[in-house]
Structure 1
Amino acid sequence: MLDINHILVVLDNEHPEQIALDRAIWLASSLDADLTLMTSTYESYCEDGSTLDTDTRERIKQALLHKAEQWLNSLAPETGELKVSCEVHWQKHLHDAVMESMRHNDYDLVIKGTQPHGIMDRIFTHTDWNLMRHCPAPVMLVKSARPWQHNRVLAAIDATSSDQGHQLINDNILSYAEHLSDHFETDLHLANSYPLVSVAFAMVPEVTAPDDIQKYITEQHEEACEGWAKKFSIQPDHVHIGEGDADSVVASICDDIEADVVVVGTVGREGLAGVLIGNTAESLVDKVNCDVIVIKPSDGVRPDAD
């Protein structure tokens, strides 16, 4: 389903600013959705094996949970127009708290603020990466508290992939982006990148590049993008095709058109490959100035079949 009726807002009291909260309140008000504000708290000395006795551990745990609940309640908007609830989970990791909440509730969108990530975040799989890879719902990572003001939604796809998985995720990305664009009456743009073949052949000098191979690849991507654009009624001048790595190309297009939000897909590459190679969605988050919505093949965001 594309309708966004239930929104989960992930808040971290270690961050001085809760940039996701204003965005979530605005979206919920615009979409007539309800909000759940969620955080987690945890102390290892409250677990079994601690030197503290059982009663003391339990009192400390309840005090920490109560403190976190009070903090969430202090952030909740004071308005009768929105239905707002709060959840506090006893979890060491914030993404585990999100997964626990998702097991008991059907959220259509998860919203979280994000900050620049370093290599250590990638090695130890930062909360944002875990949400992008594993959360069973679309995830919006908010980059700043600034409101959307340019009326542009950008859908970033891999237009020429013919395998079923990429076809599905392209359809999901564009369906979601189209839904947002229609609701907020914004312009829908499409972004696609293609490889610079001369660089690839330069790495294997013993292999000669076929004549006009770059022209062929460019035309192939243009034709594929035209097909996707027609399917989702995207104007020809709103289709952007660039040469280079996907994250850099999409980030550049975001800047050029002043996108408010970019919708991108991920297949969630795991393990060391995810650290060394990276996923386009994860790399893109740190390169753009706008919000990022991450869609996975399993999110189920496509509209109901007629």
Structure 2
Amino acid sequence: MEKYHQILAIIDPTTEDQKALKRAIELAKQTQATITAFLSIYDFSYEMTTMLSNDEREAMRNSLINDRIQWLNELINVLPHDNIAIDTKVIWHNRPFEPIIEEVLNNGYDIVIKGTHQHDKLKSVIFTPTDWHILRKCPCPVLLVKDHLWPMNGNIVAALNVGSAEAEHQSLNVKITEEAINLSKLIKANVHLVNSFPGTPVNIAIEIPEFNANEYNESMLSHHIEAMDEHAQQFAISKEHTHVEEGLPEDIIVRLADELDAELVILGTIGRTGLSAALIGNTAEHLIDNLNCDVLALKPDGYVSPLAN
């Protein structure tokens, strides 16, 4: 099922190379989607000019917005986009993530696509607070784009949590797998399912001398393999494309994505507050920082953004 009909591509005002917009066009070619190129701008000095009246400040803001719209249209005109409809929207706002999420809530986009920043000296990617706010609070799928190409017959890695009996995790596993299969058809890729599980908790091994760590690990491994096989069979995914390993998700998923030269990793973010918000912060942060490919983050069904009225 082709489900991406409305794409929100976030424009980076600091560069001419709009990775998110290019990826949006790539996707839209397969789905006949419409794209909105969205830019949020703000200049604090304009708000501080006490010499000007409110009307004059408003006029200055509008002038800057119009400049950016013109710049954006020129950018779009030089990109080959094969008659794909691309609208532009420039908003004045001092917290860039808020108007992005409000735009999604008000207009029902199917996916938000945003580029990541390359740190020239460290050769690694820098995630801004805006990226993390969007990942946590955006109700629709968020695709964070790096520089990795999407070749034909490439690999998509779907990161699952098949060992959990929690309904929220189970339904998220289904959602992630369905999304992976859907995208694999659009971009002609192979789907790999990966699941990691923690090894023996050190404190148990120390506190209970008769505790058999090997036996525990073996039983955990077989439990997860069984759960993975059952899940994969529902979607007719072959056993060779399933991977179950002991370790931290941020280590296992990154290594597997590297080995497969994956173009995309799909993961779930449980975007609640408290402990699970901290967990998505830490696991997703380490994971996404270390991946050399695009990341698609999905929310559980029924997720409500804290910015929803």
Could you state the TM-score of these two structures normalised by the residue count of structure 1?
0.87
Match of 1:303 in 2: none
Aligned runs of 1:68-147 on 2, under 5 Å? 68-76=68-76, 77=79, 79=81, 81-115=83-117, 126-144=129-147, 146-147=149-150
Match of 2:307 in 1: none
Structure 1 window deviating more from structure 2 (107-116 vs 203-212): it is: 203-212
SS in 2 for 1:297: coil
Task: Assess, with a 3 A threshold, how the Cα gap between structure 1 residues 49 and 268 changes in structure 2: closer, same or farther.
Answer: farther
Structure 1 window deviating more from structure 2 (203-212 vs 218-227): it is: 203-212
| Distance of 1:37 and 1:273 partners within structure 2 | 32
Task: Assess, with a 3 A threshold, how the Cα gap between structure 1 residues 127 and 133 changes in structure 2: closer, same or farther.
Answer: same
Match of 1:190 in 2: 193
Amino acid at match of 1:131: I
SS in 1 for 2:225: helix
Match of 1:163 in 2: 166
The alignment yields a C-alpha RMSD, in angstroms, of 2.7
- Tell me if 1:177 matches 2:175: no
Q: Conserved in 1, the CA contact under 8 Å of 2:150 and 2:187?
A: no
Match of 1:22 in 2: 22
| Distance of 1:25 and 1:299 partners within structure 2 | 29
Q: Conserved in 1, the CA contact under 8 Å of 2:148 and 2:294?
A: no
Segments of 5+ residues of structure 2 without an aligned counterpart are: 304-309
Task: Assess, with a 3 A threshold, how the Cα gap between structure 1 residues 19 and 172 changes in structure 2: closer, same or farther.
Answer: same
Match of 2:36 in 1: 36
| Distance of 2:149 and 2:72 partners within structure 1 | 22
Structure 1 window deviating more from structure 2 (10-19 vs 158-167): it is: 10-19
Q: Conserved in 1, the CA contact under 8 Å of 2:155 and 2:190?
A: yes
| Distance of 1:47 and 1:272 partners within structure 2 | 38
| Distance of 1:80 and 1:18 partners within structure 2 | 17
SS in 2 for 1:255: helix
Shift of 1:55: 2.5
Q: Write out the 4+ residue segments of structure 1 that deviate beyond 3 Å after TM superposition.
A: 44-51, 77-80, 147-150, 269-279
Q: Conserved in 2, the CA contact under 8 Å of 1:191 and 1:241?
A: yes
Instruction: State how many pairs are aligned.
Output: 294
Amino acid at match of 1:132: L
Task: Assess, with a 3 A threshold, how the Cα gap between structure 1 residues 129 and 270 changes in structure 2: closer, same or farther.
Answer: farther
Amino acid at match of 1:239: T
Aligned runs of 1:273-284 on 2, under 5 Å? 278-284=281-287
Aligned runs of 1:223-302 on 2, under 5 Å? 223-268=226-271, 270=273, 278-298=281-301
SS in 2 for 1:278: helix
Structure 1 window deviating more from structure 2 (256-265 vs 273-282): it is: 273-282
Q: Conserved in 1, the CA contact under 8 Å of 2:270 and 2:276?
A: no
Amino acid at match of 2:61: K
Amino acid at match of 1:71: W
Structure 1 window deviating more from structure 2 (150-159 vs 243-252): it is: 150-159
| Distance of 1:284 and 1:116 partners within structure 2 | 16
Q: Conserved in 1, the CA contact under 8 Å of 2:40 and 2:96?
A: yes
| Distance of 2:16 and 2:256 partners within structure 1 | 31
Q: Deviations over 1:231-262 (max 9, x none)?
A: 11111100011221011110111011111111
Q: Conserved in 2, the CA contact under 8 Å of 1:266 and 1:280?
A: no
Matched-pair identity in %: 34
Q: Deviations over 1:109-130 (max 9, x none)?
A: 1100113699xx88xx711111
| Distance of 1:193 and 1:82 partners within structure 2 | 40
Match of 1:304 in 2: none
Shift of 1:73: 0.9
| Distance of 2:146 and 2:187 partners within structure 1 | 19
Shift of 1:270: 4.5
SS in 1 for 2:69: helix
Shift of 1:49: 8.9
